[in-house]
């Protein structure tokens, strides 16, 4: 069984999750299997916790629906990994240690590399492309002195929403069902 502590260590350093917990999520509203959601999610593997912001791989899929979803999710994750591999192969700066950069600078570098890569692919063709502690027991949260009660309540609510295991499970089930309905039910078996 994967060690979820490793995933939490990654989250501790993530400006994305710091922003989410600070009540600053990017706007994201969507419907899956007839149910409305308002928090984006990331495809993740087994080391991450069961939070609403993650759709984890199904380690042992049961039945055709879960097997189909697991196959589709793995394909999507591999596409993302290949994309980063292509960017790292093309742009040396993508292979350097990210810890030395500010998060805003990293975002700008990544965006620049993606745009430049897409321009090259468009010009030369597709062949070119082939070459904080959120889990600690008794955790303490630093709140600035000038932060008002509404901001604190927003922070606490967002933090609770992010960790919601029921939403995690419901979203996974809804995605499995919707993917089966839309493109997996060719055989007619559940």
Name the strand (E) or helix (H) holding 93: none
Domain assignment of residue 50, yes or no:
yes
Domain assignment of residue 190, yes or no:
no
Domain assignment of residue 108, yes or no:
yes
> What's the confidence (pLDDT) of residue 75?
87
Token couple for 28: 């994201």
Domain assignment of residue 189, yes or no:
no
Bridge partners (DSSP) of residue 96 are none
CB-based contacts of 24-32 (< 8 A; 24+ apart in sequence) = 25/158, 32/171, 32/174, 32/175, 32/178
Domain assignment of residue 138, yes or no:
yes
| Count of structural domains within the chain | 1
> What's the confidence (pLDDT) of residue 12?
59
How long, in residues, is the chain?
A: 190
Domain assignment of residue 153, yes or no:
yes
Beta strands (DSSP E) in the chain are 30-32, 35-37, 42-44, 54-56
Separation of alpha carbons 132 and 136, rounded Å: 10
More confident residue, 47 or 10: 47
Of 29-43, 109-123, 169-183, give the lowest mean pLDDT range: 109-123
Name the strand (E) or helix (H) holding 81: helix 63-90
> What's the confidence (pLDDT) of residue 109?
81
User: What domain range includes position 174?
Assistant: 4-184
What sign for the dihedral angle of Cα 99, 104, 105, 110?
Answer: positive
Domain assignment of residue 60, yes or no:
yes
Domain assignment of residue 85, yes or no:
yes
- Residue 4 class from Cβ within 10 Å (0-12 exposed, 13-18 middle, 19+ buried)? middle
* CA neighbours closer than 13 Å in the CB half-sphere of residue 128: 12
Question: Virtual CA dihedral for 109, 112, 116, 122, nearest 10 degrees?
Answer: 130
Q: Which residue matches tokens 């980063």?
A: 84
pLDDT digits (tens, 9 = 90+) for 71-123: 998 888 888 888 778 878 877 777 776 667 777 787 788 788 778 877 877 77
Separation of alpha carbons 184 and 179, rounded Å: 6
């Amino acid at each position: 069984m994967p060690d979820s502590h490793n995933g939490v260590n990654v989250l501790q350093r993530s400006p994305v999750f710091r922003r989410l917990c600070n009540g600053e999520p990017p706007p994201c509203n969507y419907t899956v299997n007839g149910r409305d959601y308002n928090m984006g999610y990331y495809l993740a593997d087994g080391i991450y916790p069961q939070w609403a912001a993650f759709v984890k791989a199904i380690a042992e899929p049961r039945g055709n629906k879960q097997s189909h979803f697991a196959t589709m999710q793995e394909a999507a994750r591999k596409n993302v990994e290949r994309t980063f591999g292509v960017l790292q192969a093309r742009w040396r700066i993508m292979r350097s240690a990210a810890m030395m950069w500010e998060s805003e600078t990293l975002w700008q570098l990544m965006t620049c590399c993606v745009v430049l890569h897409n321009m090259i692919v468009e010009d030369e063709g597709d062949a070119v492309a082939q070459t904080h502690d959120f889990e600690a027991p008794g955790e303490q949260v630093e709140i600035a002195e000038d932060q008002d009660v509404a901001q604190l309540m927003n922070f606490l609510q967002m933090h609770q929403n992010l960790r919601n295991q029921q939403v995690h499970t419901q979203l996974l089930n809804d995605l499995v069902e919707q993917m089966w309905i839309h493109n997996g039910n060719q055989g007619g078996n559940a």
